[in-house]
Amino acid sequence: MKNIQILSGIALIALGFTSCKDEKQENAKKTIDSYVAYVDSVKNVKADDLKADWKDVEAEYDRRAENAQMALADIKDNAAETEKINESKIKYEEFKNEMAVVLAPPVTPKQKLRNALFGEGKIGDDMSFSWVNAQNIHSVYQQFVHTVENNKDSYSREDWDEIKLMYEALDSRKNTVEKEGLTSEDNRKIAGLKLKFAPMYTLNRMGAKSEENKAAKK
């Protein structure tokens, strides 16, 4: 009888451990499901409507993602739950990229001009030309001069002033690059582009100013 009671006690303890284990696993699954549901709910909101609260959304996402990842340890066979988490991560990253476009500051006319002259985002407010080197400086001049040539009739006086500022900054960078291995062939080609740019700038800048004066008189 005593042995039966002992065995019964052991069985109850084992059942208790099993029950606790099952409960822990169920809670872990709920945590993961909550994370998945959060990502789905965020994706169902228009990006424009989340602009004001985006920092809070990101903070909540990070909290839930961390909890979901930790919950995997409490699930014995967690392949399905791991896949759920990975799928939601991909969904969130895709939506985050959409938000990056919405949250990006508007591109000013000056920045649009710089993007056209040098490439998207190459020159910002810091006016850094450190990315220009002996290997690419000829192509940089080439893009700059050809872009100006193709659009010279549409530039305002302010545009030409900005173009001159950028041109002088590029020339300053060239002085540095010449000491870093600029080939004589590229130097010759750049000289040809500079000869094309100088009169084009002078004539068109004067023309733009003249047009603005006429418009002002009217």
Side chain identity, residue 37: A
Q: From first to last of the 218 residues of the chain, give the pLDDT tens digit.
A: 444 444 333 333 344 444 556 788 889 899 999 999 999 998 888 888 888 889 999 999 999 999 999 999 988 889 999 999 999 999 999 999 988 888 888 889 999 999 999 999 899 889 999 999 999 999 999 999 999 999 999 999 999 999 999 999 999 999 999 988 899 999 999 999 999 999 999 999 987 765 655 555 55
Angle between helices 184-217 and 157-177 in degrees, nearest 10: 160
Counting Cβ atoms within 10 Å, is residue 66 exposed (0-12), middle (13-18) or buried (19+)?
exposed
155, 208 Cβ separation under 8 angstroms = yes
User: DSSP assignment, residue 134?
Assistant: T
Residues 6+ apart with CB under 8 A from 133: 177, 180
- Rounded Cα distance between 25 and 115, Å, is 54
DSSP one-letter code for 119 = -
